[in-house]
Structure 1
Amino acid sequence: FLPCALADQFSGSAPRDHCWFAEMESHSDDLPPPPPLPPNAEPIKAESADDLPPPPPLPPIKPEEAKKISKPKRALIARPGFGKRGNPIQLVTNHFKVSLKTTDEFFHHYYVNLKYEDDRPVDGKGVGRKVIDKLAQTYPSELAHKDFAYDGEKSLFTIGALPQINNEFVVVLEDVSSGKTPANGSPGNDSPDKKRVKRPYQTKTFKVELSFAARIPMSAIAMALKGQESEHTQEAIRVIDIILRQHSSKQGCLLVRQSFFHNNPSNFVDLGGGVMGCRGFHSSFRATQSGLSLNIDVSTTMIVKPGPVVDFLLANQKVDHPNKIDWAKAKRALKNLRIKTSPANTEYKIVGLSERNCYEQMFSLKQRNGGNGDPEAIEISVYDYFVKNRGIELRYSGDFPCINVGKPRRPTYFPIELCQLVPLQRYTKSLSTLQRSSLVEKSRQKPQERMSVLSDVLKRSSYDTEPMLKACGISIAQGFTQVSGRVLQAPKLKAGNGEDIFTRNGRWNFNNKRLARACVVDRWAVVNFSARCNTMNLVNDLIKCGGMKGIVGFPLT
């Protein structure tokens, strides 16, 4: 118990009562014990649940009332009508009408779980599509020869069900992009003499699990064509959007959500600093009041300038000679970028740079001994290996670090002049102010040019050849959708002296006009932040301009 002084501090009122209560509580041990029970007394037992009467039955609920309770009906406020003012005009939109033939099928959604052979989850980007493509090639009969719509992550869709609800497969993928390195870690795996290479590609084994998740009726698309929505409309539209993504992926496009970018140099614009703007297009299905349509628009993203790695570093660091390159910055800029090495044209991902230059970077090379045929390890520099063993001339790589494409414990080095950055690699760092303004300026297009680009995009995309869209019975019109519009009269402004200001070429000209209601300036000040400015001339000009607009006052003190 709290002492009286502390109780006063905490309670703030009636300190004596609190103290008395604490004192009474402290003497509870001195009270006499309760009287004993008589010998013939029986304790009262509480009633068990079995002895209680049943609860009254609930009143029956009609099915219609239950549906109202579980799903309250909500709807948008209806449009009261359409305006009639202005001159009618036909407008061209960047929407293309969609038509549907069959509606009685279902999309079947399957959850995809990708694992390595040792049950580690697959987390690399782009691996999933390669595995699923290989799965379709390896097990066509087990999958009922069905086409897939795969989102590249965890969802796969088919038209109709697979033979099994839960499916498990083993897929062996030849990892041709990584290029297997020899056991000694040397960069000699690009040898043109393929007869001496027993296993040119590194194979990886994957476990693929497909588990049924849901059914999505195609009738939801038919309702969207009529301008109506159901609870499955957005899910069905998501599926056909995934089909568009997969179609563009097969064409070798760079995918950025629903935007697609082709490897076409005519679509590249140089922004400086080793960065380029890549023009592409955005494509997605939209449910509108007039039905379902394919919306296509232009889009732009930033990519790393493809070509020799040295050229990119010179542009990125704004220097004119490789000797001036800051290699610490270069290591950060190059990490995780993909390159192709010559002469074998094999693709790798950069993990870093060598600690020493090409002349001094050593590694162990195993070669057969002429006497007994046993392998013998010798130390050799990367430069000597490529020049003497491979017969490749190196002009300037000797004094610079090598590109490392191996693993932490087994590095694989290539001279920098043999490495080319592959195209369509996104540049995710922030742009400078100059680069941003250049991107906006070079991405601007006139309406006729934009319409021509979108028409060309729809033709080159060849959506009519996509098997999944064909199976859905979806066809896309080739012409722009036209809608009715109205040109409204521009509002007029009221100026001083009862004058009206009308627009000319979309602008209001306020020259030689007075304000309709001007104010009086009683107190004002001018601060000069530039020594080259004549302050008195500025003051006189402000007074003159204010008087022309009807503003009076401007006392000089």
Structure 2
Amino acid sequence: MKSSKPEALPPPPPVIPPNFVPQKALGPNRVPAARRGFGTKGQKISLVTNHFNVKLSNTNDHFYQYSVALCYEDGSPVEAKGIGRRVLDMVYQLYNTEMGGKGFAYDGEKTLFTVGPLPGTKLEFPVLLENMSSNRTARGGIPDGVETKRSRRPPQSKSYTVKISYATKIPIQAIFNALQGQDSEQFHEAVRVLDVLLRQHAAKQGCLLVRQSFFHNDPRNSISIGGGVLGCRGFHSSFRATQAGLSLNMDVSTTMIVKPGKVVDFLLENQNVRNIREIDWMRAKRTLKNLRIKTFPSNLEHKVIGLSEKSCRQQKFLLKQRNGNSPSDPIEITVSEYYAKHRNLELTESHDYPCLDVGKPKRPVYIPLELCELISLQRYTKALSNLQRASLVEKSRQKPQDRMQSLMGELTRSNYAADPLINSTGIKISTTFTQVEGRVLEPPKLKFGNGGDLLPRGGRWNFNNKTLIEPSQIKCWAIVNFSARCDTNSLSRDLLRCSKAKGMNLDEPYSIIEENHQSRRNKAPVRVEHMFEAIKRTLPGPPLFLLCILHERKNSDIYGPWKRKCLVDFGIVTQCIAPTRINDQYLTNLLLKINAKMGGINSLLSVECLHSIPLVSRVPTIIFGMDVSHGSPGRSDVPSIAAVVSSRKWPLISRYRASVRAQSARVEMIDALFKPVSPEKDEGMIRELLEDFYQSTPKLKPEHIIIFRDGVSESQFNQVLNMELEQIMQACKHLDDTWNPKFLVVVAQKTHHTKFFQPKSDANVPPGTIIDNKVCHPKNYDFYLCAQNGPIGTTRPTHYHVLLDQIGFSADDLQELVHSLSYVYQRSTSAISVVAPICYAHLAAAQMSQFVKFDDMSDTASSHSGGAGTSGGGFTQIPKLHQKVCSSMFFC
């Protein structure tokens, strides 16, 4: 195999005019690669998967798509979500004949589908729908019980007009074409119709719908995770095109819902306070907004839009009176007086607290808290705390056989065969799991510091009697303690003992610096400043490393300011810990992180040391891992953080560095890969990483560029190929116009619903299990890999999609490379579920996002070149790392 000679990067040719404005060229219209072959290596294993075969008999029929418009009687459009299904159900009941007796699948918004056409291309139907809410409550400025023009009909009803217009038709044959590997633009539209059928079937059963998952109103499916939040277990179902034909993929799914019951009880639990006097009402307003409540004794439903500004005892509104048949002047009355005089209800709990506002912004409707209950099956969309997240993971686990039984039970309960509309499509869904053949790959051998190889067993290994292969040397370092409970002297002694056993050159700490007791009352940034003042007083110069002990709580408020101070302002590598129990295993894991951050390597693949990785070890190769982390749900003001890590010191594939940028909130495509600001200067992430590779390798340009991308859906694959890859290619051209590296682009997906089971075992599939047949794509190049050991719950495989391979890997070589990259994660002694570069990118993005307290950021600040602030793109930027640590594995 041809190897590259060292050569310098020539200066970029000055062909770009000085005043140019860079454009995001899409380049050629690349599409995902077709499968080249199947893997053969590994021990064969028989498995079943949660895919159920689907037969379609009406191949010559068409799905007809119609647009749906809902209007009030005055012609204004209906904007309220959730009313559409009730209105369309009434259309089906009242106008079945006018619609030709046809059933339809309605997506809940603006589209419905039928099998065969409706009688006309434009249909219009009036519908009178009983309203679930009532205006017989304390309404600000509106007389109680006074008739208006719209109240001559029963006071709890509304009139709608439904307009149905023909849009297009979709051949069912498109599904069969795609299953045979033919390109079919209409395949996704046809499968969408089938998915809408399942959603409508679940809606008829009163389920909560969340995309393609549905949740029954059954208390037995709910688990409490604290804070007034329940984890509600339901089921995901979607149709997939596979090599074995069309299949229904069913899986257990969980969503967060608010705990139904009294609003006051929910707020007490949500805010973890004991009585109503301690409730933070601003926080309560944010939490309750848009939730639906039921009032009693009237038993009517309303949506919360906010809280009253004053308490029930003080909040006044104008109540219009009736004197005989003519209205009299309105009187001003408080909410408490209204309920006492006009409803004969004496308020006992909520006199001195705000009311719920269930009206409209300019027409408030006030209801006392004690008369309100939260209705069931309402999603909780706020971010979960660490404790809630841990509780959810623990309580929602299911062993493989339990999961299989749940799925079979739900498939029986759903009874799709009884739905007349599903039957009219000719769908027949199998009731047995699909059988597949997998292969279990041999784990890669690992090399340690004392020269011996080790073969991991069960996806795990340990460092007992092993030393680090490249231990770092740490001379000037210190321990800083923000926690009063940790015995720092004992920790220091044990850490030195353990580091010596692992071959690490760790000197005694220069000092152990305890936080001043008075400082603990200050805010986190002030506490960090005081600690650094103490460090400057105590140490003779800047330390190489700081071990920081935090309070027992994870994600302490100290963490972000501390990391920023160390990595941005001073360029000091730091490791934070919050120990509860310290033993040798804890210390070994701690040393693995410290050694990697300080430039050492804990273990290497044997094939890495022998330079025998096919197509990687003989040709200069750089490996990228790319990921984007988003803010909490509902936080559109918090930017997304994009991270790209790259391998360095080829032919190694175990050492990485990171480049991180902020970008607009909730944007998945990375837009800072290539950022030319002049003919000579590119401030993009890729150039930064390529130059690092060039300097560390020594003076070689990569001929092969391998890209692992995380977090994108199948609908975004073309954007990865035509936007992100194009930026990377442009970055290469900007460095050297004659340089043409070859690319491999692989997307890794964890958020899918395919699981694999051993038919007669409650154990998970063994680590190294790979599947590239039967349930994989009929044309495109993909495979599933369970690299990790799954001791609890049901293992989720990673779904790898090969979008482009210009390098020419065989199926076996590529699958073994991916498998091996699950064993090079330096902070772990077990194989991980996805390749290490992607894990590192995720860690880098998460850690950099901690540098900025986005909750406290103003909308105006400095640009990326300075501190944290707002860039010209309108989003908060993150600070640059100090030169001393920017090429380190600070994220490890």
- Partners of 2:262 and 2:373 within 8 A in 1: yes
Q: Where does residue 349 of structure 2 map in the other structure? A: 396
2: CA distance between counterparts of 1:102 and 1:365?
62
Q: Where does residue 294 of structure 2 map in the other structure? A: 340
Q: Report how far residue 96 of structure 1 moved.
A: 0.8
Q: Report how far residue 98 of structure 1 moved.
A: 0.7
**What is the identity, as a one-letter code, of the residue corresponding to 1:528?**
A
Correspondence 1:137 to 2:93: yes
Q: Report how far residue 188 of structure 1 moved.
A: 6.2
Correspondence 1:447 to 2:400: yes
2: CA distance between counterparts of 1:556 and 1:529?
7
- Partners of 1:546 and 1:552 within 8 A in 2: no
- C-alpha distance 450-215 of structure 1, shift in aligned 2 (>3 A): same
**What is the identity, as a one-letter code, of the residue corresponding to 2:190?**
A
1:535-557 C-alpha deviation (Å, 9 max, x unpaired) = 9846862673145xxx7998999
Moved more, 317-326 or 282-291: 317-326
Correspondence 1:525 to 2:475: yes
- C-alpha distance 535-290 of structure 1, shift in aligned 2 (>3 A): closer
Structure possessing the higher radius of gyration over alpha carbons? 1
Residue of structure 2 aligned with 1:251, choices 181, 202, 205: 205
- Partners of 1:180 and 1:200 within 8 A in 2: no
SS of the aligned residue for 1:283 comes to strand
Correspondence 1:91 to 2:47: yes
Q: Report how far residue 187 of structure 1 moved.
A: 9.2
1:328-374 C-alpha deviation (Å, 9 max, x unpaired) = 332232222110001121101112223333234344555655xx665
- Partners of 1:167 and 1:209 within 8 A in 2: yes
**What is the identity, as a one-letter code, of the residue corresponding to 2:170?**
I
Correspondence 1:103 to 2:59: yes
Moved more, 225-234 or 246-255: 225-234
Q: Where does residue 460 of structure 1 map in the other structure? A: 413
Residue of structure 2 aligned with 1:502, choices 455, 470, 475: 455
Correspondence 1:149 to 2:108: no
TM-score between the two structures when normalised by the length of structure 2:
0.48
Residue of structure 2 aligned with 1:80, choices 12, 37, 41: 37
Q: Report how far residue 420 of structure 1 moved.
A: 0.3
Q: Report how far residue 442 of structure 1 moved.
A: 2.2
Q: Where does residue 327 of structure 1 map in the other structure? A: 281
TM-score between the two structures when normalised by the length of structure 1:
0.75
- Partners of 1:543 and 1:554 within 8 A in 2: no
* Structure 1 residues 468-487: aligned runs within 5 Å: 468-487=421-440
Q: Where does residue 169 of structure 1 map in the other structure? A: 125
Q: Where does residue 247 of structure 2 map in the other structure? A: 293
Q: Report how far residue 225 of structure 1 moved.
A: 5.8
Q: Report how far residue 327 of structure 1 moved.
A: 2.4
2: CA distance between counterparts of 1:268 and 1:219?
41
2: CA distance between counterparts of 1:204 and 1:338?
19
* Structure 1 residues 273-292: aligned runs within 5 Å: 273-292=227-246
1: CA distance between counterparts of 2:297 and 2:107?
35
SS of the aligned residue for 2:431 comes to coil
1: CA distance between counterparts of 2:349 and 2:287?
21
Q: Report how far residue 134 of structure 1 moved.
A: 2.0
- Partners of 2:139 and 2:366 within 8 A in 1: no
Q: Where does residue 217 of structure 2 map in the other structure? A: 263
SS of the aligned residue for 1:297 comes to strand
- Partners of 1:147 and 1:468 within 8 A in 2: yes
- Partners of 1:128 and 1:152 within 8 A in 2: yes
Q: Report how far residue 498 of structure 1 moved.
A: 6.9
Moved more, 270-279 or 332-341: 270-279
- C-alpha distance 78-426 of structure 1, shift in aligned 2 (>3 A): closer
Moved more, 180-189 or 318-327: 180-189
SS of the aligned residue for 1:445 comes to coil
Correspondence 1:159 to 2:115: yes
2: CA distance between counterparts of 1:555 and 1:319?
46
**What is the identity, as a one-letter code, of the residue corresponding to 2:465?**
N
1: CA distance between counterparts of 2:313 and 2:471?
80
SS of the aligned residue for 1:391 comes to coil
Q: Report how far residue 321 of structure 1 moved.
A: 0.8
5+ residue gaps, structure 2, are 1-28, 146-150, 482-487, 511-892
- C-alpha distance 497-341 of structure 1, shift in aligned 2 (>3 A): closer
1:489-545 C-alpha deviation (Å, 9 max, x unpaired) = 434445677754334444224422467xx5687x64151214733698468626731
- Partners of 2:133 and 2:300 within 8 A in 1: yes
Residue of structure 2 aligned with 1:218, choices 163, 172, 176: 172
Moved more, 526-535 or 394-403: 526-535
Q: Where does residue 415 of structure 1 map in the other structure? A: 368
1:26-82 C-alpha deviation (Å, 9 max, x unpaired) = xxxxxxxxxxxxxxxxxxxxxxxxxxxxxxxxxxxxxxxxxxxxxx99995453345
SS of the aligned residue for 1:478 comes to coil
SS of the aligned residue for 1:533 comes to helix
- C-alpha distance 182-392 of structure 1, shift in aligned 2 (>3 A): closer
**What is the identity, as a one-letter code, of the residue corresponding to 1:487?**
V
- C-alpha distance 331-509 of structure 1, shift in aligned 2 (>3 A): closer
Percent of pairs with identical residues: 54
Q: Report how far residue 404 of structure 1 moved.
A: 2.2
1: CA distance between counterparts of 2:216 and 2:108?
19
* Structure 1 residues 303-322: aligned runs within 5 Å: 303-322=257-276
- C-alpha distance 315-534 of structure 1, shift in aligned 2 (>3 A): closer
- C-alpha distance 442-368 of structure 1, shift in aligned 2 (>3 A): same
- C-alpha distance 150-499 of structure 1, shift in aligned 2 (>3 A): same
Q: Report how far residue 158 of structure 1 moved.
A: 0.8
5+ residue gaps, structure 1, are 1-71, 190-196
| Paired residues, number | 470
2: CA distance between counterparts of 1:339 and 1:106?
42
